[in-house]
């Protein structure tokens, strides 16, 4: 859709807003655009019709069109490339917080092109914070694994994992680029997981992670800190992670207390 002819020919099937409908015009247009994307008629990275075309096609004001586009950009459905137009975003990766599972394994099994890069793996002495959370003595040897995850060649998730060396020493022989952490702990080491304490907060990305995630310094990201426990209650993993919230999101099923 690089010219008016292509734009018009491609979008003859595009529904129009109904001005007699009490639903706000911008919201109708928003749902029309979203419907085309949900039905996969417009694919990720497709350029959608221009604001001028949508305005003329629906006989509505350009500001109404921009309101609909702005709402869809805020939801992560569309993104703008200056000088080129508005495009359909890739589906955001989603993880259910109620499950203590390997999210990369699940994404890969569901057909998403997710790649793990191992930045480094080494043994280090536990500092006071790590020792406290892993319930070991300060200075005790731990295994540190630093990873960077890519989705369709875009980095979206960075993490550092710490494991008590005396329980997990054989992890140093594993290829973390091919295997997820939780299956390794449970299936290779025989360490059955039970639960995890997780905190999430919105922060501005710091320079080191910003460079890895290819975002500007201070870019809004999700910061995760987690301690995973075995069935017998022992802490086995300390996780510190940064996730791009324009590509990745968490969901959680909440139930009313009876």
Looking at the DSSP bridge assignments, the partners of residue 159 are 147, 241
Record the pTM: 0.69
Place of tokens 């979206």: 156
- Domain-by-domain residue ranges, the chain? 4-88, 93-251
Q: For position 12, what pLDDT does the model report?
A: 54
Q: What is the pLDDT of residues 21-50, one digit of tens each?
A: 999 999 999 999 999 998 889 988 899 999
Rounded mean pLDDT for each run of 10 residues along the chain, 258 residues in total: 46 81 94 91 90 94 95 85 86 70 72 86 97 97 96 89 96 88 91 93 94 93 94 96 81 70
If DSSP states are collapsed to H, E and C, what string results for 176-199?
CCCCCHHHHHHHHCCCCEEEEEEE
Q: Which residues on adjacent β-strands are paired with residue 240?
A: 160, 225
Quick one: CATH architecture of 4-88? Orthogonal Bundle (1.10)
Full DSSP string of 228-247: EEETTS-EEEEEEEEEETTT
How high is the pLDDT of residue 168? 95
Full DSSP string of 72-119: HHHTTSEEEETTTEEEEPPPPEEEETT--S-HHHHHHHTT--EEEEEE
Confidence (pLDDT) at 90: 76
Q: Identify the CATH homologous superfamily for domain 93-251.
A: Chorismate lyase-like (3.40.1410.10)
DSSP 59: T
- How far apart are the C-alpha atoms of 29 and 47, rounded to whole Å? 16
């Amino acid at each position: 859709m690089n010219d008016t002819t292509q734009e018009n020919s491609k979008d003859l099937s595009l529904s129009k807003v109904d001005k007699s409908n009490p639903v706000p015009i911008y919201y109708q247009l928003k749902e029309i655009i979203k419907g085309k994307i949900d039905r996969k008629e417009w694919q990720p990275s497709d350029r959608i019709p221009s604001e001028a075309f949508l305005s003329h096609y629906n006989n509505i004001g350009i500001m109404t069109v921009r309101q609909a586009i702005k709402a869809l950009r805020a939801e992560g459905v569309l993104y703008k490339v200056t000088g080129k137009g508005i495009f359909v975003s890739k589906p955001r990766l989603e993880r259910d917080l109620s499950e203590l599972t390997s999210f990369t394994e699940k994404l890969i099994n569901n057909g998403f092109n997710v790649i793990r890069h191992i930045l480094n793996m080494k043994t280090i002495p536990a500092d006071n914070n790590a020792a406290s959370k892993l319930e070991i003595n300060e200075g005790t040897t731990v295994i540190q694994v630093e990873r960077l995850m890519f989705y369709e060649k875009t980095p979206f998730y960075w993490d550092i994992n710490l494991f008590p060396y005396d329980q997990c020493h054989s992890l140093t022989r594993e290829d973390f680029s091919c295997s997820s952490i939780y299956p390794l702990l449970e299936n290779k080491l025989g360490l059955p997981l039970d639960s995890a304490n997780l905190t999430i907060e919105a922060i501005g990305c710091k320079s080191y992670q910003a460079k890895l995630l290819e975002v500007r310094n201070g870019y809004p990201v999700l910061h995760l800190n987690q301690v995973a426990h075995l069935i017998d209650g022992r802490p086995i993993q300390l996780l510190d992670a940064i996730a791009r919230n324009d590509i990745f999101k968490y969901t959680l099923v909440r139930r009313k207390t009876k």
